[in-house]
Structure 1
Amino acid sequence: MKQSPSLKKMLVTALLAALAYVLNTAVVFPAMAPFQHFVNVLAVYLLGPWYGMAAAFICGSLRMLSGRTIMAVTGGIVGPVLAGFLYKKTKNVCLLALGEMVGSGILGALLSYPFMVTFYGMKAGNWAQLIPFFLPSAAVGSLLGLLTILLTKKTGLIDKLKAKINA
């Protein structure tokens, strides 16, 4: 039975969300989740921005259920949208990774600030105070995702996978 492209994309989205959750749970860095950004880059390349955002939302929600703050969601959902927009306009994977880095590392941090003040009692200060915590994680994960895409492009593996998902 032939599967529709949207069903394939939903299945791959769920798999990528699960991969991000497992990697972020198994490989722990204090206050960092670089594998979320790694998976965001891969998801945007393979599926597009909306499915990438869905994978980030699913993983972030699971991480929240495991005791993380709302930053697990707010910090990860902006990056795939910006990355996807840049990639769609330029087809440049370096700009895709940069979009994830800026979207999650800076815009995600700014989006998280009001939630942390309102719901978690963080003392109000500078809106940008979360950026130093978000940006290193987003940078490491985005670069890992970019390297993975570039290395698998040489073998043609990732493009074959992308074609199968979208067929």
Structure 2
Amino acid sequence: MKTQKKLSTKKMLVTALLAALAYVLNSFVYFPAMAPFQHFVDVLAAVLVGPWYGFASALICGILRMMSGRTIQAVTGAIFGPILGGLIYRKTHNLYLVFLGEVIGTGILGALTSYPLMKIFYGLDVHKWYYFVPYYTPAAIVGAGMGLAVVLIFQKTGLLKRMQASLD
């Protein structure tokens, strides 16, 4: 029981650090209508802490970004990628499929979820339900690509196995 509690505490700590990393990177390196560093961190979270802690990391960062003046898109554009990427990684252990899960989770699911929320809460006057897909997908591709590159470097150096072993 004590070992399980210790592992849970480690995962929560890494989750908080990943949320802080995403927030800081997205605050200081700004691209209009893009948050590629969120997707970078989402890939790291999916591989290191799994889908649900990855979701928590993205949610925490999204809420912090909303408190800093961003719209609800800061949450909806972040939460689906680590869930889908993490579930795929848990099943396959294929890092390239984590990239794909992040892009589909954010570029499609996040974009489609953002449309009705932006219409309801912010009065968005756009008639295309797929309006956000062309904005979310490139950001997800760039960010997930950076995350994949870092995770592949971690894997090549053996660091990924050591990090995962310390969290399992």
**What interval of TM-score do these two structures reach, taking the shorter chain for normalisation?**
over 0.9
Partner residue, 2:10: 8
TM-score w.r.t. the length of structure 1 is 0.96
| 1:125 maps onto 2:127 in alignment | yes
| 1:165 maps onto 2:167 in alignment | yes
The one of 89, 95, 106 aligned to 1:104: 106
User: C-alpha deviations, 1:47-75, integer Å up to 9, x for none?
Assistant: 00000000000000000000000000011
Q: Tell me the amino acid that sits aligned with residue 43 of structure 1.
A: A
| Deviation for aligned residue 1:88 | 1.5
Partner residue, 2:137: 135
Aligned positions of 1:1-167 closer than 5 A: 4-166=6-168
User: C-alpha deviations, 1:77-133, integer Å up to 9, x for none?
Assistant: 011111112112211010011100110111100001101000011014111011011
Alpha-carbon distance between aligned partners in 2 of 1:62 and 1:159, rounded to the nearest angstrom: 31
TM-score w.r.t. the length of structure 2 is 0.95
Q: RMSD of the alignment, in Å?
A: 1.2
Which runs of at least 4 in structure 1 moved beyond 2 Å after TM superposition? Answer: none
User: C-alpha deviations, 1:12-59, integer Å up to 9, x for none?
Assistant: 000000000000001111111000000000001000000000000000
| Deviation for aligned residue 1:161 | 1.3
Q: Secondary structure at the match of 1:128?
A: coil
Q: Secondary structure at the match of 1:4?
A: helix
Corresponding pairs, count: 166
Q: Tell me the amino acid that sits aligned with residue 89 of structure 1.
A: K
